[in-house]
Amino acid sequence: MPDMTPAPAARSFDALIIGAGFSGLYQLLCLRDRLGLNVQVLEAGDGVGGTWYWNRYPGARCDSESHSYNYTFSKELFEEWEWSERYPEQPEIMRYLNHVADRFDLKRDICFGTRVVAARHDEAAGSWTVTTEAGEKLTAQFLITAVGCLSTANVPALPGLGDFAGRWYHTGQWPHEGVDFRGKRVGLVGTGSTGIQATPVIAEAAAHLTVFQRTPNYSVPAHNAPLTPEFRQWVRHNHAELRRIMQSTPNGHPFVIEDRSVWDVTAEQRQAIYEAAWAKGGLQFRAAFRDLLVDKEANDTAAAFLKDKIREIVKDPATAELLADIDHPYAAKRPPIDSDYFATFNRPNVTLADVRRAPIERITPAGIRTAAAEYPLDIIVFATGFDAMTGPLLRMNIEGRDGRALAEAWEAGPRNYLGLQVAGFPNLFTITGPGSPSVLCNMPVAIEQHVEWITDCIARLRADGLARIEPTEAAMDDWVTQVNDAAHATLLPQAHHSWYLGANVPGKPRVFMPYAGGMARYRAICDEVAAAGYPGFMRGA
Ligand code: NA7
């Protein structure tokens, strides 16, 4: 006999937020405590943290400096939290986000262990219905994705992976209990920021480490170190000034880009400037001159300096040449920073395998076979990145008006207005979506701006007695052009294998996704749109 029990009524909210990382937590705080909305957060993980909840690989550390990798909306929160090191390590970021969640009593409105598998807009009801993996349905007037840009792991579809007799892991889905590398032959695939962070740490523990390098990469030393009490005090006293700098620079970091051209100085002066920037370390290296990202010849001078550093550090000339054989402008891909990455190749238990010239052919039960050799392995670590920016959104099966799938609307690449909203998907907001500065910016700065803009937008709608907002097609077309133009005014699209372009995922449209015009300019554009009463958006009852 069929089950006649009526399906339970969908739980209903003013707003649903998907994700409980930096963005979801702050969005919850703003909508619940500032606007008084009835809000629910749905989070796939069993705790807060978002990207940091999943990325627990050895050496996982943020490349933003710790005093800039936090919320700035609360002076008290900013002043009471003390980071221990120049760059925060994953466990410390988790402690910070848990502290924030507890301090503002956020966890009571978060459903953990709840993965969203579908979201559908109901035009007649003017609401979104979200379906979870467990089959529960929830509805809300507003749907806000806070799913991060780097949360869909990209595991290469290599033949034979299923037959591998050892264990394999992706860095973005790292086991919570950790991985014991002692006495093991480990293969690490990928030399982006993650592979570059993990290599020295795995090399210390493993019997042998083989790094499989497809695209060689620049890297600048991080020079991580414990923070001194004096520095901490300076940060506490300079909260307002730091916030002002972070909000006024293109990348949202707490340093300004030097207002000098590479060509303003002599070759000797330039060398001295690069040496000083190398000694200081970190992402700030690219701020040494204002034209590094717009003038290829200017960039070449930085590239040559960094390649020489690799040759100085790495003792075996053949290995050094392979590592320094970099084919793209410095910082055209996200520039990694490291702790002894290149020096790790001087260890007797570390080998570099060139999989650009001799690609990986298959995984065998015993290890990795390339066109040149077979490498016996016990563990494979895929530091192969993410289906970035659009991946986390598209995998949720979002359907807008008339059941139109977001995947269909974005078939040729992401199209939206201001990186925030998509025509045909009313009341859907995408925090740090494609078309916004997001990954080109220190993330908390980008996140705070988006969350506050969305909060103000919803507050204005309500104050005006309106119920829905979505952009016009014309505004989207214009914004897509602006995003494209901003990218092409820089050297960034020249790195043809960059994940900014979607090039790391086979079949993904090659579209430069983040807005490269700078965070400060982007903020001004968003503020102008809000101040002018939201031109480019349709607001209705
Ligand atoms: P990235 O930067 O996308 O790096 C992934 C690396 O993996 C990169 O070197 C890729 O080479 C390599 N890769 C990917 N697929 C393969 C296959 N099939 N074979 C060999 N090598 C492969 O990801 P990360 O996790 O390092 O960093 C992501 C961001 O997190 C980072 O930029 C920061 O913002 C934080 P490729 O370059 O595609 O040739």
Per-residue pLDDT of 338-368, as tens digits, reads 999 999 999 999 999 999 999 999 999 999 9
| Average pLDDT of the residues in 61-72 | 97
Read off the pLDDT of each residue in 424-443 and give the average, rounded to a whole number: 98
pLDDT, position 259:
96
Neighbours of 163 (CB within 10 A): 11
Strands 220-221 and 398-399: what pairing? unpaired
Tell me, using a 6 A CB cutoff, whether residue 150 lines ligand 1. Answer: yes
Q: Could you tell me if the CB of 215 is within 6 A of ligand 1?
A: yes
Is the CB–ligand 1 distance for residue 189 below 6 Å?
yes
What DSSP character marks residue 93?
H
pLDDT score for 212: 98
CA distances to 60, 66, 92, 441 from 89, rounded to whole Å, are 6, 9, 5, 19
From the number of C-beta atoms within 10 Å of its C-beta (0-12, 13-18, 19+), residue 7 rates as exposed
Q: What is the pTM of this model?
A: 0.97
How would you label 274-310 residue by residue, b for 16+ Cβ within 10 Å and e otherwise? beebbeebbbbbbbbbbbbbebeebbebbbebbbebb
Determine the average pLDDT of the residues in 40-57.
98
Distance CA 110, CA 53 (A): 15
The per-residue pLDDT of the chain, averaged, comes to 97
pLDDT tens, 444-464?
999 999 999 999 999 999 999
- Ligand 1 centroid – CA 473 distance (Å): 34
**105 CA → ligand 1 middle, Å:** 37
Relative to the CA of 55, which ligand 1 atom is closest? 25
Give the whole-angstrom CA distance, residue 25 versus residue 33. 12
Judge whether residue 2 has pLDDT over 80.
Answer: no
Reported confidence tier of residue 501, pLDDT bands at 50, 70, 90: very high
pLDDT at 1: 54
Atom 38 of ligand 1, residue of closest alpha carbon = 504
Tell which atom from ligand 1 comes closest to the C-alpha of 215: 39
Count other Cβ atoms within 10 Å, centred on residue 482. Answer: 16
Instruction: Say if residue 287's pLDDT is above 60.
Output: yes
Percent of the chain whose pLDDT exceeds 90? 98
Q: Could you tell me the two tokens for 58?
A: 């050895």
Do 336 and 192 meet the contact criterion of CB atoms below 8 Å apart? yes
**Helix spans in 63-186 (H):** 75-80, 90-103
The number of the ligand 1 atom at minimal distance from the alpha carbon of 193 is 26
Categorize the per-residue pLDDT at 7 as very low, low, confident or very high, splitting at 50, 70 and 90. low
- Is the pLDDT at 89 greater than 90? The verdict is yes
Spacing, Cα 192 to ligand 1 middle (Å): 5
Cα separation of 467 and 460, whole Å?
10
pLDDT of amino acid 10: 83
What pLDDT is attached to residue 407?
Answer: 97
Q: Strands 208-213, 116-122: parallel, antiparallel or unpaired by DSSP?
A: unpaired
pLDDT-derived band at 386 (thresholds 50, 70, 90) equals very high
Does residue 126 contact residue 118 with C-beta atoms inside 8 Å?
no
CB 71, CB 79: distance < 8 Å: no
- Atom index in ligand 1 nearest the CA of residue 504 equals 38
In the predicted model, what is the mean pLDDT of residues 65-71?
Answer: 97
The predicted pLDDT at position 9 comes to 77
Q: pLDDT-derived band of residue 273, with 50, 70 and 90 as boundaries?
A: very high
List pLDDT tens digits, range 365-379.
Answer: 999 999 999 999 999
Distance 466 CA to ligand 1 centre (A): 44
In this prediction, residues 57-77 reach a mean pLDDT of 96
CA count, 13 A, side-chain hemisphere, 281: 15
Per-residue tokens: 226: 């414990």
φ/ψ of residue 226, rounded to 5 = -60, 145
Three-state secondary structure along 214-267? CCCCCCEECCCCECCHHHHHHHHHCHHHHHHHHHHCCCCCCCCCCCCCHHHCCH
Q: What is residue 3's predicted lDDT score, i.e. its pLDDT?
A: 60
Cα(191) to centroid of ligand 1, in Å? 6
Confidence band of 6 (pLDDT split at 50, 70, 90): low
Q: Is 334 in the pocket of ligand 1 (CB under 6 A)?
A: yes
Find the 383 Cα to ligand 1 centroid distance in Å: 6
Q: Which of 523, 425, 423, 428 is nearest to 480 (CA)?
A: 423
pLDDT at 5: 67
CA distance 377 to 492: 36
Say whether pLDDT at 237 is over 70. yes
Cβ–ligand 1 distance for 383 under 6 Å, the answer yes
Residue 496 Cβ inside 6 Å of ligand 1? The answer reads: no
Verify whether ligand 1 is closer than 6 Å to residue 381 (CB atom): no
The reported pLDDT for the residue numbered 191 is: 98
Residue 523 pLDDT exceeds 70: yes
C-beta of 499 in contact with ligand 1 (< 6 A):
yes
The answer, yes or no, to whether residue 322 has pLDDT greater than 80, is yes
Pocket test for ligand 1, best of 188, 193, 440 (most atoms within 8 A of CB): 193
185 pairs with which residues across the strands?
208
From 62, 194, 443, 496, give the residue whose CB has the most ligand 1 atoms within 8 Å, as the site to mutate. 194
